[in-house]
Structure 1
Amino acid sequence: MFKNYIKIAFRNIVKNKVHTFINVAGLSVGMAVAMLIGLWIWDELSFDKYHKTYDRVGQIMVTQTANGETGTFGSTVVPLSAELRTKYAGDFKFTSLFWQGTHILAIGDKKITQPGAWAEPDLPEILSLKMLKGSYTGFRDPSSFIISQSVATALFGNADPINKMVKVDNKTNLRVTGVYQDLPHNTSFYETRFMLPFFNKDNWWGTQISAWDNHGCRIYALLTDHADFDKVSARIRNITKPRFKINEETIQVHPMSKWHLYSDFKNGRSVGGRIEMVWLFGIIGVFVLLLACINFMNLSTAQSEKRAKEVGIRKAIGSMRMQLINQFLSESLVFAVLALIVTLCIVLIALPYFNQIADKQIAVPFGNIWFWLMALGFTTFTGIIAGSYPAFYLSSFEPVKVLKGTFRVGRFASMPRKVLVVVQFTVSIILIIGTIIVFRQIQFAKNRPIGYSRAGLLTIEMNTPEIYGHYEAMRNDLIKTGAVEDMAEANSSTNQIWSNNSGFDWEGKTAGYDPTFGTIGVTYDFGRTVGWKVVQGRDFSRNFPTDTDAFIMNESAVKLTGIKNPVGKVLRWNGKSHTVTGVVKDMIMESPYEKPVATIFMMEPGWVNFITIRVKSTTPMQEALKKIEPVFKKYNPGSPFNFKFNDDEYARKFSDEQRVGSLASIFAGLAIFISCLGLFGLASFVAEQRVKEIGVRKVLGASVANLWRLLSTEFVVLVVISLFIAIPLAYYFMQHWLQGYQYRTSISWWIFAFAGTGAITITLITVSFQAIKAALANPVKSLRSE
């Protein structure tokens, strides 16, 4: 019996080629979108599961209230690690301090720059690293370090790296005692290509063993067997409370299982994060697949009259309704299997591009039996969903009416198809509106005034000892090249604030009020180099020797202090008095979606880690780099010339939103494509069903324009109904999404007008081909049988 069902299915496929193409194309595109999103979701849900200790690893998170706002972050103090190990040994099996950075590894003349971390000896075991050579114990020697397989290959080729000496940052000689397997892309430690001993003399953070007021390191911990994260967090919550007088803090252990998907905190509690994106794309995938299934349902039921006699005859010779249902479901499954073959081809072609947009390294796991079981199950489910309505609808025809020729589908028979078309375009329009608003929010933030000039700025990290102590000479040599306008040094790049401090006093300050400021140490020429805008007072100047103890505040810092005329006022900090010489416009150095950080700039030449260079606008960048590199080689021969463009680093701040927008635009386009395929098929069917009516109208004098309007109006009305449903839904969801940003765009009326006009235009273009074709047909041929 099943064999006959398959034969009939293939006969119908061959007989109705256009119908087959539309169904297979629609289903395959919908399934491809669903499969890509499914692979992406699987990658997200499996994040960090590479580590065998996944269920027991946590990060120490700190919650503080500063400047009236409560925030939770992962930067904590060095002595806390040892205190947790000793005082709470029953809860913590291991703890490890961690400080990530970029370092230069050298063997002789071979030098490579790689991201790595200073860490305590237990981190490899906390992360259950897979050691290919050596063991965890080798890392306990403070003169040793462990490297990943890719770093071992880059440095030593095929030679055995164990016990070989490597110079780090041209100052620290360490022996390789272990090689671990490269960590996969979907782990939090993917960028950790090697681990250095935390308490090495050349790691500044290792000297902060008693500094309870200097937050900057992370702490990772492995809890003991059967330890409960919530109970452990409750026990250690106030462990640092005795150390703080004003801005008290609480700490907790955030499980590794929540790092990636639940990284957002509110009032010290995890409230979500990327899990919202997982739900968003999951819902999009379901709806895009639903659109494809709707196409199948619509076209199958639209051809009901063609299949009516077949159903009538089969019922008359004894077929049971369930047999007919099985037949139609079998046909649907055949379409689904054909679509699966096309789907796999589409996924293989699209996956590299998808990975690039999504910043993933996803591969189709053809060798995994679970993938095939899920793919076949997914295909069967799609086939059943797509074929369920046609199967039950077609099998319900009464054989007597069909065979007498009195069967009519009825005036309301097309109502389910119209409802499904409305659903299709409602989903598509919501996706279009959502995509526009996402990109509008990105552009709104990109156009935000940032308080300085990014164009032509280069940032170079100072990661070797030779680069220090040559500021004036290096600056003069760079300016002499003719390509450089100015140069400065600071302890933060222009796209980050690495230091925050409290403890500032000033005249009129309220008792008990201790706000936190971003603190940036700079050299004299920082303001001229970055092009900040002085709104009160003056910039730092070599003409004023007292500027070595001067402060420059940004506008947000002035508001935070409440000082009305800050220029000339004195702020006391760390036992010293500092005169405010100027006020600058707020510089957006952190998130472009958040309010500016209250920041104080100070003259601290000994507290710098970054060089910022402004290239002259009249000099081509490639030419400028050729002139700049020899100067750096002169003063820093032990380091490769590694630099970053300020524009590129600033653009990375938009990467998550850009990713969401790009993927949403692709999915919206595919949703429209699938919907238009369905419309094209339905328009073709309607034109075929009304061919005699069209012929009569043409004979009676109807013009092509009149007939085009007659056939197009029905579909335009359906799209207009979709607009009335989609617009309020899109407004509600996108307004909620925008609330997550302090600096956000507004939702303008033209977005909905544009989406509506676009949807109607696309509908008219899709339908017009069939409508005009039917209107131009010769009425003699359509009426000949009469």
Structure 2
Amino acid sequence: MLKNYLKIAWRNLVKNKVHSAINIVGLSVGMAIAMLIGLWIWDELSFDKYHKNYDRVGQVMVTQTANGETPTFGATVVPLSNELRTKYAGDFKLTALIWEGAHILAVGDKKISQNGMWAEPAMPTILSLNMVKGSYASFKDPSSFLISQSMAKALFGDADPINKTVRIDNKTNMKVIGVYQDLPHNTTFYETKFMLPFSNPANWWSTQMQAWDNHACHLFVLMNDHADFDKVSARIRNITKPHFKMNDEVIQVHPMRKWHLYSDFKNGVAVGGRIEFVWLFGIIGLFVLLLACINFMNLSTAKSEKRAKEVGIRKAIGSVRNQLIGQFLSESLLVVFLSLVLTVIMVLLAIPYFNHVADKEVSIPWGNPLFWLLTLSFTIFTGLISGSYPAFYLSAFNPVKVLKGTFRVGRLAAIPRKVLVVVQFTVSIVLIIGTIIVLRQIQFAKDRPVGYSRAGLISIEMNTPEIYGHYEVMRNDLIQTGAVENMAESNSTTTQIWSNNGGFDWAGKTPGYDPTFGTIGVTYDFGHTVGWKIAQGRDFSRNFPTDTGAIILNESALKMSGIKNPIGKTIHWHDGNHVIVGVAKDMVMESPYEKTKGTIFFMTPGWVNWITVRIKPNMPIREALSKIEPVFKKYNPGSPFEFKFNDDEYAHKFSDEERIGNLASIFAVLAIFISCLGLFGLASFVAEQRVKEIGVRKVLGASVVNLWRLLSTEFVVLVFISLLIAVPVAYYFMQHWLQGYQYKAVISGWIFVCAGAGAIAITLITVSFQAVKAAMANPVKSLRSE
């Protein structure tokens, strides 16, 4: 029986080649999108599960209330690790501070700059690193460190790295005691290629064990068995207050299982994050697959008259309805399994590009039985869904009417098809509108004034001791090259604020009010180099010897402080008095979607670790770099010349949104493609169904344009109905999405007009081919049988 079903199904597919091709291609595209999205979602949901202690690892987070806002961040004070380890040993099995950054690793003449971390001894155990050579038992030794497999290969080739010496930042020799397996791409510490002991004298933060006012390190913990994260967080929420009375500072432990998907906080509570994109793409995948299934349903029911006699004859010779349903479902399953073959080919071809766009390293898990079980289940489910309506619809035909020739499908039979077309284009239009709004939000943030000039700025990290202490002579040498306009040093680049501090005091300050400011140490020429704008007072200047220790506030910091007429006023911090000499206009140094952080710039030449260089305008970058590099080699021979374009670093802040926008654009285009594919097939059957009517109209004098309008109007009306449904739906969801940004675009009416006009234009283009073809056909052929 099954063999007979499949044989008949194959004959029908071969007989109706165009119809079959539309079905198979449409389903393949829909299934390929669903499979790619499924792989993406699996990767997201399995983030950090590589670590054996996944369910018991957490990061200590800090929530502060200042100036009416309640941000939550991961930067903690150094003494907190020991406090938790000694006073809350019943809750915490292990604690570990880390400080991440790039370092120079050198073996002989080979010098490599790579990301790593200073870490307390427990960090390798917390992350359950998979050691391939050596061990981390001696990681507490200040002169020993761990490296990843890829780092060992880069430094030592195939030689055994254990007990080999590596020079760190050209100032410290350290011994390799272990090599760990590189962490997978879908882990938080994927880019960490080595671990240095926190207690090493080269790590300045190890000297801050009593500094309760400097939030700069990150603290990770391994909870004891059966410890509850919420209950432990409740016990430690006020642990820092006896030591440093921040304004309502609250401590909590954020579980590893929530790091990736629930990274957004509101009033100290994790409320969302990438989980929203997981739901979004999951829904998109289901809807795109639904569009493909709708095509199958529409095309199958549209050609129902052609198969009506087949159903009538089968019933007349004894076939029962269940057998007919089995026949049509087997046809559907054959189409779906053929589509699955094409789907796998499509996914294999698309994965490299998909990984590039999505910043993933997903692949088809050929050897995973669960993958094949899910794939087969998903394929059968798709086949049953796409074939169920045609099967039950076609098997219900009355054999007497069919064989008498009195069977007519009727107008009401077309209603389900029209409803399905409306659903298709509603989904497609919502995707189009959503994509436009996402891209508009990205562009809106990109167009935001940043308060300084990024063009021609490059940043170089001061990662070896040789480069310190040469500021003036190095600046002069750079300017002498003719390629550099100016140079300055600071402890943050123009695209980051790495130091945040409280404990400031000033005259007139409200009692109990203790805000946290971003704190950046700079040299005299910082403002001139980055091109900031002074709103009040003046810039730092060599003409004023008293500027050593002076400060400049940005406008947000001035607003937070509430200081009136700030120039000449004093702010007390760390047993020192700092005179305000100027107020700079806000610079966007962190997220372009959020408010500017209140920041204080200190004229403190000794508190710097980044060099910012402005290349002269109109100077070719390649030529300028060739002149700049020898100067840095002269003063920093122990380090490769590595730099970052500030423009690129700022552009990186848009990467997540751009990635989502690009993926949404691709899915929207493919959704439209699937819808148009179905529309094309449906238009061909409508034209075929009305061929005699068209012939009569032509004989009576109807023009090609009149006939084109006759056949196209029906589909345009359906798309217009889709538009009426899609606009409020898209507006509701996109307005909710935009609420997650403080700096956001306004949803304009032109977006909906453009989306509607585009959808109608695409519909007309798709339908016109069949409509014009039918209108231009010779009426003699269509009316000959009359």
Q: Same fold (TM over 0.5)?
A: yes
Q: What is the aligned residue count?
A: 786
Q: In the alignment, which residue of structure 2 is the partner of 1:646?
A: 646
Corresponding position: 1:602 with 2:639: no
Structure 2 Cα separation of the partners of residues 246 and 334 of structure 1: 67
Q: What whole-Å deviation, never above 9, does each CA across 1:107-144 have from its counterpart, x for those lacking one? A: 11111111111111121111111110111213232211
Residue matched to 2:395: 395
- Would the aligned equivalents of 1:75 and 1:215 in 2 still touch at CA under 8 Å? yes
Equivalent residue, structure 2, for 1:384: 384
Amino acid at match of 1:199: S
Q: Which amino acid aligns with 1:727?
A: V
Q: Deviations over 1:521-563 (max 9, x none)?
A: 1101001100111222221111111111322121222222223
**Counterpart for residue 234 of structure 1:** 234
Structure 1, 185-194 or 566-575: larger mean CA deviation:
566-575
> Residue in 2 aligned with 1:711?
711
1:138/1:178 contact within 8 Å kept: no
Matches of 1:253 and 1:510, distance apart in 2:
31
Equivalence map 1:126-165=2 (5 Å) = 126-165=126-165
Amino acid at match of 1:340: L
Q: 5+ residue gaps in structure 2? A: none
1:247 corresponds to 2:250: no
SS in structure 2 at match of 1:295: helix
2-structure distance, mates of 1:773, 1:404: 32
Task: Provide the secondary structure at the position in 2 that maps to 1:179.
Answer: strand
Identity %: 78
Structure-2 residue corresponding to 1:4: 4
Alignment of 1:331-370 (within 5 A): 331-370=331-370
SS at match of 1:385: helix
- Which shows bigger deviation, 529-538 or 21-30? 529-538
Partners of 1:169 and 1:106 lie apart in 2 by 8
Counterpart Cα distance in 2 of 1:246 and 1:185: 37
Partner AA of 1:575 in structure 2 = D
Cα drift, residue 265 of structure 1 = 1.3
Tell me how far 1:92 sits from its aligned partner: 1.5
Change (3 A) 1:671 1:452: same
Match of 1:261 in 2: 261
Moved more, 453-462 or 73-82: 73-82
1:551 matched to 2:551? The reply is yes
**SS of aligned partner of 1:333:** helix
Per-residue deviation at 1:409? 0.9
**2: CA distance, partners of 1:701 / 1:250:** 82
> Secondary structure of the residue that 1:163 maps to in structure 2?
coil
Alpha-carbon distance in 2 for matches of 1:230, 1:723: 46
Whole-Å separation in 2 of the counterparts to 1:319 and 1:462: 84
- CA deviations 1:297-344 (Å, max 9, x no partner) are 000000100110111111111111111111111100000001111111
Please say if residues 27 and 293 of structure 1, whose CA atoms lie closer than 8 Å, have aligned partners that are also in contact: yes
Question: Which AA in structure 1 matches 2:186?
Answer: N
Deviates more, 1:768-777 or 1:553-562: 553-562
Report the Cα offset of residue 507 of structure 1. Answer: 3.2
Match of 1:614 in 2: 614
Distance 1:578 1:252 in 2: 34
Deviations 1:356-409 (A, max 9, x none): 111101111112222222111111111111001001100111111111111111
SS at match of 1:351: helix
Give the CA deviation at 1:746: 0.3
Residue by residue, what CA displacement relative to the aligned partner does 1:189-239 show, whole Å, maximum 9, x if unpaired? 101111100011110111111112221111111112222222222222222
Instruction: State the TM-score, normalized to the length of structure 1.
Output: 0.99
User: What CA distance in whole angstroms lies between the structure 1 residues aligned with 2:282 and 2:753?
Assistant: 28
| Alpha-carbon distance in 2 for matches of 1:460, 1:55 | 39
The change in CA–CA distance for 1:316 and 1:371 in structure 2 (over 3 A counts) is: same
Q: Deviations over 1:60-85 (max 9, x none)?
A: 11121122211211111222212222
What's the CA shift for 1:516? 2.3
1:57 is matched by which residue type in structure 2?
V
Per mean C-alpha deviation after superposition, the further-off stretch among 522-531 and 566-575 is 566-575
Aligned to 1:490: 490
Deviations 1:396-441 (A, max 9, x none): 1111111111111121000000000000000000000000000100
The residue number in structure 1 matching 2:208 is: 208
Q: What is the aligned-residue RMSD (CA, Å)?
A: 1.1
1:744 aligns with 2:782: no
Quote the residue 1:406 is aligned against.
406
1:190 matched to which residue of 2?
A: 190
**Aligned equivalents of 1:560, 1:249: Cα separation in 2:** 17
Equivalent pair of 2:85/2:94 in contact (CA under 8 Å): yes
Shift of 1:266: 1.4
Q: Does 1:777 align with 2:760?
A: no
Shift of 1:578: 2.5
Relative distance call for 1:510 and 1:235 in structure 2 (3 A) is closer
User: Is 2:214–2:500's contact at 8 Å kept on the other side of the alignment?
Assistant: no
Distance 2:140 2:559 in 1: 49
Structure 1 unaligned regions, length at least 5: none
Structure 1: distance between partners of 2:415 and 2:596? 55
Structure 1 residue 773, shift from structure 2 partner? 0.2
Q: Which amino acid is the alignment partner of residue 732 of structure 1?
A: Y
1:5-404 matched pairs, under 5 angstroms: 5-404=5-404
TM-score, with length taken from structure 2: 0.99
CA distance in 2, matches of 1:197, 1:768: 70
Q: Deviations over 1:638-682 (max 9, x none)?
A: 001010000000001001110110000000000000000000000
Letter paired with 1:344: V
Q: Distance in 2 between matches of 1:618 and 1:514?
A: 46
- In the alignment, the residues of structure 2 paired with residue 90 and residue 703 of structure 1 have an alpha-carbon distance, to the nearest angstrom, of 88
Give distance in 2, aligned partners of 1:207 and 1:574.
Answer: 16
Contact 1:67 1:516 in 2 (8 A): no
Separation of aligned partners in 2, 1:361 and 1:501: 38
Contact 2:492 2:610 in 1 (8 A): yes
Structure 1 residue 246 displacement after superposition: 4.3
Counterpart AA for 1:122: A
1:572 CA drift (Å): 2.7
- Equivalents in 2 of 1:375, 1:109: separation in Å? 52
In structure 2, what is the Cα distance between the partners aligned to 1:196 and 1:42?
A: 33
Q: Distance in 1 between matches of 2:77 and 2:649?
A: 28
Query: 1:723-734 to 2 correspondence within 5 Å?
Result: 723-734=723-734
C-alpha distance in 1, partners of 2:226/2:509? 49
Q: Secondary structure at the match of 2:434?
A: helix
Mean Cα deviation higher: 491-500 or 229-238: 229-238
Trace 1:609-688 onto structure 2 (pairs within 5 A): 609-688=609-688
SS in 1 for 2:626: helix
Distance 2:167 2:246 in 1: 44
Distance in structure 1 (CA, Å) of the matches to 2:204 and 2:710: 79
SS at match of 2:753: helix
Rounded Cα–Cα distance in structure 2 between residues aligned with 1:284 and 1:636: 52
Contact 1:566–1:580, Cα closer than 8 Å, also in 2: yes
Equivalence for 2:541: 541
* 1:226 counterpart letter in structure 2: H
Query: How do 1:475-486 and structure 2 match up within 5 A?
Result: 475-486=475-486
**C-alpha distance in structure 1 between counterparts of 2:740 and 2:325, whole Å:** 49
Secondary structure, aligned partner of 1:116? strand
Whether contact under 8 Å (2:247, 2:513) holds in the other structure is no
| SS state at 1:136 partner | coil
CA distance in 2, matches of 1:756, 1:421: 15
* Aligned residue identity for 2:656: D
SS at match of 1:84: helix
Q: Secondary structure at the match of 2:612?
A: strand
- What SS does the corresponding residue of 2:59 show, helix, strand or coil? strand
Q: Which amino acid aligns with 1:528?
A: H
